Amino acid sequence: MAYSREALIEAVSAQMPDKRWKHTLGVMETSIQLAKQYGADPERAETAAILHDVAKYWPVERMKEIIEQNQLNLDLLVYDKQMWHSEVGAFVAEKDYGITDPDIINAIRFHTSGREDMSLLEKIVCLADYIEPGRDFPGVDKIREKAQVSLEEGLVAGFDSTISLLLEKRRVIFPLTVLARNDLVRILEDKI
């Protein structure tokens, strides 16, 4: 069943604390803005943004079960649990909320990690997640500045900050983010 925008907002906001819903509202606003700025469909960007963190607060065991039982990306299970909600969110968007647009589903699926060959919509939601107005982490203003130059510049700055932080903390890095970052760097190099 397809949900109206209002029903979707009601259903998704009920699944997370107020603070995380406030973040989602920021990602919605920024996704719409970036879509208008960079020539994507603002409505589809907003739908992906509404749903991007739908599974963020689901119990880890439930997420693991969904990934295993539905043969989603099993590779994720040997990486940080923080990465799982995007894959589960994409599945739930289709299964429970009737989203059929593969680009919206993939924008949810890759909003944390990124991937090679990201679509315009995937780039927008991923970057909006870094720079929505409520975000306040060292280096966020630099990413906001770069986002005004291009989506690719903004995302490279975002991925670089994530990778640097993970290196600093000696954490395992889910490799898709490195591939996404390299892909975007090459695109930017080719433009010069």
Q: How many CB atoms lie within 10 A of CB 63?
A: 24
Measured distance CA(180)–CA(28) in Å, rounded: 23
Q: How far is the CB of 177 from ligand ADP (least distance, A)?
A: 3
3-class DSSP assignment, residue 103? helix
Which has the closest alpha carbon to 122: 155, 163, 157? Answer: 155
- Provide DSSP, 3-33: PPHHHHHHHHHTTS-HHHHHHHHHHHHHHHH
CB of 13 or CB of 41, closer to ligand ADP: 13
Binding site for ligand ADP (CB under 6 A): 79-80, 82-83, 112-113, 129, 162, 165-166, 173-174, 177
- By beta-carbon proximity to ligand ADP, the closer residue of 25 and 173 is 173
Residue 9 CB neighbour total at 10 angstroms: 18
CB of 70 to ligand ADP, least distance (A): 20
Q: Between 97 and 174, whose beta carbon lies closer to ligand ADP?
A: 174
Instruction: Tell the smallest beta-carbon distance from residue 4 to ligand ADP (Å).
Output: 26
Residue closer to ligand ADP by CB (options 150, 162) is 162
Smallest gap, in angstroms, from Cβ of residue 184 to ligand ADP? 14
